[in-house]
Amino acid sequence: MPVFYRLNLVAVALCYALVVLGAFVRLSDAGLGCPDWPGCYGQLAVPQADHAIDRAQAAFPDRPLEAPKAWKEMIHRYLAGLVGLLIAALAVLAWRAPGRPRGIASAIVLVLITQIVFGALTVTMKVNPLIVTTHLLLGLSTLSLLWWMWLGGLSRTVVMATSGLRVLAGFGLAMLVLQIFLGGWTSTNYAALACPDFPTCLGRYTPTTPLSQAFTLWHGADRNYEYGILEVAARATVHLVHRYGAVLLSLILGALALRLLTLGATQWRRLGLALCAALGLQLAIGIGLVELQLPLWLADAHNAGAALLLLTVLAVNHFVWRGGGQGRIAHP
């Protein structure tokens, strides 16, 4: 495997870790652990000395320093910086040699810049749900583009796919992106525990509030959204829609996996098995979250599982849409 794609794979792994760590920061209510950006209470590290802590408290009297939360936020920022350097290096390498994926490398840089802007807005706009959810989607977009670029470097061809399979794979990816948005909206509105029972939600199968109330995207920029602002009933509606989305997505991706498993080529069956495993794991984690009342480790695993499912569906789409004929399958 060329050095470029080895570095690409390292970037994928670190970006995946960054997405999981970002979810951990959010779920542990540490998103405002540092009330400023890019530093923390005006410093590049969490204040530790007594005089530094005193200055921090004086500068931000409404945000008392909580060192554990602040360190979670700063470690996330340090890792983000490392991922950013790797992406910049990949872009430079792509443009210095012919035949490298210059277009997608440049697109990753643009997405990363946008992601940095929304990372700052997450803090300055006090974890506004729309900003935080967009930040999540941009992080997953960065991961997806890095993964897609790495897949493009694999020295293999695939068996031609039918147009029906391509449509199903593309539709599955689109629905997965929508479901990830619903999951992010559930988390950023602190609605994960709004339905403590399963499969019903507060004893019902239908929402008790209009969807417009639960999915009003913008509530203004001048309020603190930490711990959520929606009423309990509206949070339950958000949660219930996310559940129904999971059911619909499971049917679509289940049909896609079944179709892959029935094809003759070994590579399709492997992709089908991988999709079944990723989907089954995510469903089990989602049900466990409700039954176990949202333990932090399992909530973070749910985000990790969503990212893993996204990478799996992207791999399916990559090979389904790339296949233009038959050929030898060679591993990188």
Q: How many CB atoms lie within 10 A of CB 98?
A: 6
Q: What pLDDT digit, counting tens, does each position of 278-331 carry?
A: 999 999 999 998 888 889 999 999 999 999 999 999 999 999 887 543 333 333
Q: How far apart are CA 108 and CA 114, in angstroms?
A: 10
8 Å CB contact between 177 and 245: no
215, 267, 266, 275: which is closest to 240 by C-alpha?
215
Q: Burial, 79: exposed, middle or buried (Cβ in 10 Å; 0-12, 13-18, 19+)? A: middle
Q: How far apart are CA 90 and CA 109, in angstroms?
A: 9
Q: Average pLDDT for residues 24-28, to the nearest whole number? A: 92
**Selected residue with higher pLDDT from 235 and 290:** 235
Question: What rounded mean pLDDT belongs to the chain?
Answer: 91
Q: Any idea which residues carry the catalytic annotation?
A: 73
8 Å CB contact between 119 and 131: no
Instruction: Indicate the pLDDT class of residue 158, thresholds 50, 70 and 90.
Output: low
8 Å CB contact between 79 and 87: no
| Residue environment code for 27-62, b if the CB has 16+ CB neighbours within 10 A, otherwise e | bbbbbbbbbbeeebbeeeebbeeeebbeebeeeeee
Q: How far apart are CA 92 and CA 96, in angstroms?
A: 6
Cis peptide before 38, with omega less than 30 degrees from 0? Answer: yes
**Selected residue with higher pLDDT from 53 and 323:** 53
Return the pLDDT at 208: 87
Return the pLDDT at 155: 62
Decide if pLDDT at 30 tops 60. Answer: yes
8 Å CB contact between 314 and 143: no
Decide if pLDDT at 160 tops 80. Answer: no
Q: What pLDDT digit, counting tens, does each position of 161-201 carry?
A: 777 899 999 999 999 999 999 999 999 999 998 998 988 99
